[in-house]
């Protein structure tokens, strides 16, 4: 296999390799989060709590709709990493073509279905009447641009599976800068309100996808994928491998997103102020998600390549490094939250009603930070080993049973209301580490799924 694009993650210092891989991921995910947060900040300052409620609800709905992209792209990355480690060029080619076609069709299907049921979706999450039209504008605009999100996830999965996390960072920089400029232009100067924020996001994502696809096409000889029409055929064996791993990962992503959407629907029952506050909670916790996602992506790619190359002894070292790095960043974020809570919340809105009660979020936010950090260790091992059954089990236990169950117990059962929902969400974040530690101790991760060319 040509190595001009492929990075070998099976040799050398584990800590150095992880940081070289994970830091660009961290900064690219941070930038992606920032340009989503900018939507909230610009709308919050220009429109107020009603606009924040719309962006919060619309953003959570969009996140839910990307579960197929997140799940199957993550699965594709793991499969590519394993094939790279085993020097299986044919497997890499077939996974790329199959993943492209499958997720393109999935994005079209999701966009069409969600557009048709857009009103029931907004009613299902108890969208406050005051922000209903704003939420509809944001949601519909993002639904139309869903294909760009799916496409970018495919390209990033290919690059990261080959050990390249720097190029996705560059592509996100382009998207982030464009989104921030357009956000300010559309919302603050042209008065396009929430629709302008959504349009800026879609344009940024579209440009990011096109540029990343052009780069992948330019480097096609490095991994022998010619981008001819016949190469995009969904090959039977590759599709089966992708589905076997992608379905549990997609369910995992969907379960967490669905549970958060249900919590949002419960919170919306308490009015637009709490709905706006939920937006602040979600956006601040995006930082903990960045830690988890970045180190999970890097860790699972390294685990996948090393298992593919039969270098099992490096896996515990990878996990320990993932844990140490995640915790260091988490402690820094916790200190910022403790020392500067007013500044953090004030960055999102000047709405006095929202800011008056924002202090109740500090404790569940910090708890969420640490829960997310531990998740990255578990999912690095579970995803990297390609264990489909365990992925499915974690999805159900973590995403549905524990998150919704604990939140309902605290919020409704103990009468803590919205605060109980947020604590329940945070506490549930520690469930995967328990499962992950049991899996590590069992040693069953050493047996990767059988692969076919």
HEC per residue, the chain: CCCCCCCCCCCCCHHHHHHHHHHHHHHHHHHHHHHHHHHHHHHHHHCCHHHHHHHHHHHHHHHHHCHHHHHHHHHHHHHHHHHHHCCCHHHHHHHHHHHHHHHHHHHHHHHHHHHHCHHHHHHHCCCCHHHHHHHHHHHHHHHHCHHHHHHHHHHHHHHHHCCCCHHHHHHHHHHHHHHHHHHHHHHHHCCCHHHHHHHHHHHHHHHHHHHHHHHHHHCHHHCCCCCCHHHHCCCHHHHHHHHHHHHHHHHHHHHHHHHHHHHHHHHHCCCHHHHHHHHHHHHHHHHHHHHHHHHHHHHHHHHHHHHHCCCHHHHHHHHHHHHHHHHHHHHHHHHHHHHCHHHHHHCCCCCHHHHHHHHHHHHHHHHHHHHHHHHHHHHHHHHHHCCHHHHHHHHHHHHHHHHHHHHHHHHHHCCCHHHHHHHHHHHHCCHHHHHHHHHHHHCHHHCCCCCCC
Instruction: Output the CA–CA distances (angstroms, integers) from residue 326 to 33, 292, 306, 369, 446, in the order listed.
Output: 17, 7, 21, 10, 24
Note the pLDDT of residue 410.
94
Average pLDDT over residues 291-307: 82
Note the pLDDT of residue 27.
76
Model pLDDT for residues 67-115, shown as the tens digit of each residue: 788 888 888 888 887 787 777 777 788 888 899 899 999 999 989 998 9
Note the pLDDT of residue 331.
93
Average pLDDT, the chain: 83
pLDDT band (50, 70, 90) for residue 7: low
pLDDT band (50, 70, 90) for residue 453: very low
Average pLDDT over residues 200-221: 86
Average pLDDT over residues 294-309: 82
pLDDT band (50, 70, 90) for residue 365: very high
Note the pLDDT of residue 250.
82
* % the chain with pLDDT above 90: 16
More confident residue, 407 or 383: 407
Note the pLDDT of residue 61.
82
Model pLDDT for residues 12-38, shown as the tens digit of each residue: 778 887 877 777 777 777 776 666 677
Average pLDDT over residues 56-70: 80
Separation of alpha carbons 63 and 260, rounded Å: 10
Note the pLDDT of residue 2.
47
More confident residue, 388 or 199: 199
Model pLDDT for residues 123-182, shown as the tens digit of each residue: 888 888 888 898 899 899 989 888 998 888 888 888 877 777 678 778 878 888 888 889
More confident residue, 248 or 337: 337
CA angle 282/51/133 to nearest 5° reads 115
Contact assessment for residue 21 and residue 165, using Cβ atoms and an 8 Å cutoff: yes
**Could you give the dihedral angle defined by the CA atoms of residues 94, 97, 100 and 104, in that order, rounded to the nearest 10 degrees?**
-120
């Amino acid at each position: 296999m040509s190595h001009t694009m492929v990075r070998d993650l099976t040799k050398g210092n584990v800590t150095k390799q992880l940081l070289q891989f994970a830091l660009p991921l961290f900064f690219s995910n941070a930038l992606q989060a920032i340009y989503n947060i900018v939507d909230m900040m610009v709308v919050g300052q220009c429109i107020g709590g009603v606009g924040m409620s719309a962006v919060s609800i619309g953003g959570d709905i969009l996140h839910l709709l990307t579960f197929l992209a997140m799940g199957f792209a993550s699965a594709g990355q793991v499969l590519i990493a394993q094939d790279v480690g085993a020097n299986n060029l044919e497997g890499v080619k077939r996974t790329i073509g199959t993943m492209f076609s499958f997720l393109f069709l999935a994005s079209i299907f999701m966009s069409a279905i969600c557009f048709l049921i857009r009103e029931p979706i907004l009613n299902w999450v108890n969208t406050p009447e005051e922000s209903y039209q704003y939420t509809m504008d944001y949601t519909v605009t993002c639904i139309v641009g869903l294909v760009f999100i799916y496409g970018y996830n495919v390209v990033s999965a290919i690059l990261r599976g080959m050990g390249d996390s720097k190029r996705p960072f560059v592509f996100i920089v382009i998207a982030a800068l464009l989104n921030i400029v357009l956000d300010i232009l559309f919302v603050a100067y042209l008065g396009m309100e929430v629709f302008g924020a959504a349009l800026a996001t879609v344009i940024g994502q579209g440009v990011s996808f096109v540029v990343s696809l052009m780069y992948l096409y330019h480097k096609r000889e490095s991994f022998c994928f010619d981008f001819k029409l016949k190469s995009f055929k969904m090959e039977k064996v590759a599709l089966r491998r992708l589905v076997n791993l992608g379905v549990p990962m997609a369910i995992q992503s969907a379960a967490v997103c669905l549970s958060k959407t249900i919590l949002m629907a419960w919170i919306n029952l308490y009015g637009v102020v709490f709905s706006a506050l939920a937006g602040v909670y979600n956006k601040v916790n995006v930082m903990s998600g960045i830690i988890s996602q970045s180190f999970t992506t890097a860790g699972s790619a390294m685990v996948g390549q090393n298992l593919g190359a039969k270098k099992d002894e490096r896996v515990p070292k990878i996990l320990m490094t993932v844990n140490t790095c995640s915790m260091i960043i988490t402690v820094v974020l916790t200190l910022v939250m403790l020392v500067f809570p007013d500044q953090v919340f004030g960055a999102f809105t000047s709405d006095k009603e929202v800011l008056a009660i924002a202090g109740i979020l500090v404790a569940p936010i910090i708890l969420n930070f640490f829960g997310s950090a531990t998740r990255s260790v578990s999912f690095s091992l579970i995803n990297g080993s390609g264990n489909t059954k365990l992925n499915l089990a974690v999805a159900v236990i973590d995403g549905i049973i524990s998150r919704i169950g604990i939140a309902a117990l605290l919020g409704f059962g103990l009468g803590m209301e919205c605060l109980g929902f947020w604590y329940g969400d945070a506490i549930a974040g520690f469930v995967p580490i328990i499962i992950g530690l049991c899996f590590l101790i069992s040693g069953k991760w050493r047996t990767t799924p059988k692969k076919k060319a």
